[in-house]
Amino acid sequence: MKRELIAYLDSIKQRDPAPRSRWEILLYPGVLALGLHRIANWLFKGELYFLARFVNHLSRFLTAIDIHPGATIGANFFIDHGFVVIGETALIGDNVTIYQNVTLGGTNPANGIAGKRHPTLEDGVIIGSGGQVLGPITVGRGARIGANAVVTRDVPEGATMVGIPARPTVIDAQNYNSFVPYGTPCSERFDPATQQFELLKCEVEALRGKLAKLIEERDAVRSDNTDRQSA
């Protein structure tokens, strides 16, 4: 139990450079909300629904984070700041990071899997501030949801989604380190007021990288041909 807690706190420190110690991380509202959710989820599975809801409401009062007792959450889940809503049938994998004002919301179950109204987040997903992920969709492993994006369709593995409705950028999530400030791609200044500019900037950077790679390949081919002719 102690080792698992230490590993969990260390996983948060890897994603958030602010805390000076593990003790400080224990004061995070996201950590308290997750701990209380584990209790509420255990009660919910035991069909003690009233007690589960009571713990849920206590958690929401203390942390401003509302996690339905029925939500399934994997290891090393980190909510950075509060005002997050997670619905009953949400499925969250391991090492998922969510920033403030995020909603994992539900839609009509007739539009998707029977009884499944909320999203599934696979391992390593990051959702930026204000991201809204709605319906019984799947966000693939390692995907990034940019700030204020609204996602209503499945997200491929490793994609970076921005905008309303969300669409993929040309920059893969694998290009980022484990710490991504507020889940935003390319620039810490990425926000709705400058989205178009930042998207163009991302595309230019990607095209520059591809051009440099093509030039290197061309030069390598020319060098090989020169060596063959000399031989």
Number of domains forming the structure of the chain: 1
pLDDT at residue 195 tops 70: no
User: What confidence score (pLDDT) does residue 94 get?
Assistant: 93
pLDDT above 70 covers a percentage of the chain that reads 81
Of the listed ranges 29-33, 74-78, 168-172, 180-184, the one predicted with least confidence = 180-184
Residues 6+ apart with CB under 8 A from 185: 144, 146, 160, 162, 169, 171, 173, 176, 198, 202
Mean pLDDT of the chain: 82
User: What confidence score (pLDDT) does residue 202 get?
Assistant: 64
Six token digits for residue 112: 């998707």
User: What confidence score (pLDDT) does residue 9 get?
Assistant: 87
The total number of residues shown for the chain amounts to: 231
Q: What is the mean pLDDT of residues 175-192?
A: 51
User: pTM for the whole thing?
Assistant: 0.71
Q: What is the mean pLDDT of residues 72-95?
A: 92
User: What confidence score (pLDDT) does residue 176 get?
Assistant: 46
Q: Does residue 119 contact residue 134 with C-beta atoms inside 8 Å? A: yes
User: What confidence score (pLDDT) does residue 175 get?
Assistant: 47
Q: What is the mean pLDDT of residues 75-102?
A: 92
Q: What is the mean pLDDT of residues 127-131?
A: 90
pLDDT at residue 181 tops 70: no
Q: Does residue 126 contact residue 170 with C-beta atoms inside 8 Å? A: no
pLDDT at residue 213 tops 90: no
Coil/strand/helix, residue 46: coil
Nearest Cα neighbor of 83 from 61, 100, 104 is 100
Rg of the chain, C-alpha, whole Å: 21
Q: Which residue has the tokens 């009571």?
A: 54
Give the integer Cα–Cα distance in Å for 172 and 231.
42
Coil/strand/helix, residue 121: strand
77: domain CATH number?
Answer: 2.160.10.10
* Lateral strand order in the sheet of 167-168: 78-79, 97-98, 126-127, 144-145, 160-162, 167-168
User: What confidence score (pLDDT) does residue 76 get?
Assistant: 92
Six token digits for residue 35: 């701990």
User: What confidence score (pLDDT) does residue 88 get?
Assistant: 92
Which domain, by its residues, includes 117? 2-230
Q: What is the mean pLDDT of residues 210-228?
A: 80
pLDDT at residue 90 tops 90: yes
pLDDT at residue 99 tops 80: yes
Give the integer Cα–Cα distance in Å for 130 and 27.
23
pLDDT at residue 45 tops 90: yes
Of the listed ranges 13-22, 53-62, 100-109, 201-210, the one predicted with least confidence = 201-210
